[in-house]
Amino acid sequence: MTYPPLAEMVGQLFIVGFKGCEIDESHPVYADIARRNLGGVILFDRHLASRDSTNNIVGAQQLARLSSDLQSIRAEQLLIAVDQEGGRVNRFRGEFGFPLFPEAAELWKKDSAQTEERAGQLAAMLKKYGINYNLAPVVDLNSNPDNPIIGRFGRSFSADPHRVSAQAAVWIRAHRKAGIVTCLKHFPGHGSAAEDSHTDFVDISKSWHDNELAPYQELINNNQADSIMLGHLFHKDFDPVFPASLSAKTVSFLRKELNFHGPVVTDDLQMRAVTDRYGLQEAVILALQAEVDLILIGNNLQYDSKIFSQIHKMVLDAVDKGRLAVEQIASSWRRVQTLKASLSASERQNPSHREKSV
């Protein structure tokens, strides 16, 4: 395999958010993609840092144009990601004319045909507007219904791991049919926690049960795991030092024990469970040292238009100083390219799903 220059490989290992509902050559994200080979972007419907009620998604025609403009910056495929689970985790608001979708907790009460229908409709909507990466489904178990970010939000399909994996499999098939890759989250399991990793350090050492691994194992065994997101979750038996998102031991467990060889993704590294303890730049280095493949920086909880240019330079400096190995960067780059190649293969197999102007 021929490898591109190091700076281009580094760029591919990041998914970063940006501000605004349109772009041109003066927009910072344009330079991030054109000059630094940014691997992907993540879109939000509102901007939390500035308390703006709108951000990247404000309407059908606008979103289709934004996605097309982003993809046109470079010849290489760009990952355009959203968190579109349905229910309260929804980036496509009804007030902008988008259809609404039920939360996972509602879907499991129906039969799998209902899940397939709704997931198919959701995936078709994403494809129509140029989204190719859905950071879903949640495969956390609803083991603590009072969990402040999973249980209370209805984000889990069920407390039963086999129901979770069965519903997730239907969801994933519908997305693949539309040519969209998905991401299982939040490994090793956020469902039992009593805290929210957006705001707190989350220790699941006492609440976690090994049946929370079952959905991951079943979906990996059935070749239905496109990528897996690591939660900002501390479990002393996985790693006595680092949370899963920064843990080489947790990544090794996924690779060696669960036999997963696709891309491993961090949850948003701007969440306070990480930034309060490590700071963003050190968290990026720790995640890459742990052999995480895709670093997610939402740029939404806090905002900096130069965030990726600074991080990109910092990673290259870390390679020069011996903190990161070129071989490690190359291995992650290969896994990201394999994920992107699956998108291109889907386009060849399903030409009817190619983006249409709106």
Active site residues: 198, 267
Residue 68 CA to residue 64 CA, distance in Å, equals: 6
